[in-house]
Amino acid sequence: MASAEEQLKSERILDELKKRQRTKDVVDVDEDRIKIVIFMCGSNLFAFYGRNIREILPSCEISWVPSLPDYLPGLINVRGDIESVIDIRHFLGEKKVSHGTGLIAMAVHGDFHSGIMIDTIEDVVDIPISTIQPPLATLNGAARDLVIGEIKYGDSTISLLDVGKLAALISL
């Protein structure tokens, strides 16, 4: 029969081995993260990279300008700067709504500056870059030209839109 001192020593050794094993299991990975702005447009959720959204403006008066395409309802004044407004529903295949409802996301990408009409902001989250998946090859519809990836948000899969691709479509 083992003495109390030997049993105590055995327990300390076992405790130390368990402690070492637990520290081996925990790996602290410092993964790059990126900010994502999740918004509602029509009946679907979409997202932009946070670096491309300068600010969110409440609904404001959009000044109509003759001869603009349907996806450009007009111009707005943002603290003295005149900016165009894009109705992104046109590119996403969503039903058009009356102007003056929703929000305007001020987007920036290089020299491109414009307001983008959205319904609501759902969330702003930091996600690991590795969680951004490529878009489905079977993606159909008008949004296909803008989607650069997909992310999981709760139980939903959200299309990540590229402001640069939107700028390229507008510039055509």
CATH for 62: 2.40.50.180
Q: Is residue 108 part of a domain?
A: yes
Residue 19 — very low, low, confident or very high, per pLDDT cuts 50/70/90?
A: confident
Radius of gyration, alpha carbons of the chain: 25
Query: Taking all residues of the chain, what is their mean pLDDT, rounded to a whole number?
Result: 85
For the chain, what is the total number of helices (H) and then of strands (E)?
A: 3, 10
Nearest-angstrom CA–CA distance, 17 and 70: 69
Q: What would the pLDDT profile of 130-158 be if each residue is shown by its tens digit?
A: 999 998 776 666 678 899 999 999 899 99
Give a yes or no: residue 22 inside a domain: no
Flag whether 19 is in a domain: no
- Determine the average pLDDT of the residues in 60-87: 90
Residue 114 placed within a domain = yes
Domain that holds residue 166: 33-171
**Cα 46 from Cα 118, distance rounded (Å):** 10
Query: Rounded mean pLDDT of 60-72?
Result: 89
Residue 27 is assigned to a structural domain of this protein: no
Establish if 17 belongs to a structural domain.
Answer: no
Q: How many CB atoms lie within 10 A of CB 107?
A: 25
pTM assigned to the model: 0.76
Q: Supply the pLDDT for residue 22.
A: 67
Number of domains in the chain: 1
CB atoms within 10 A of CB 143: 19
139 within domain boundaries: yes
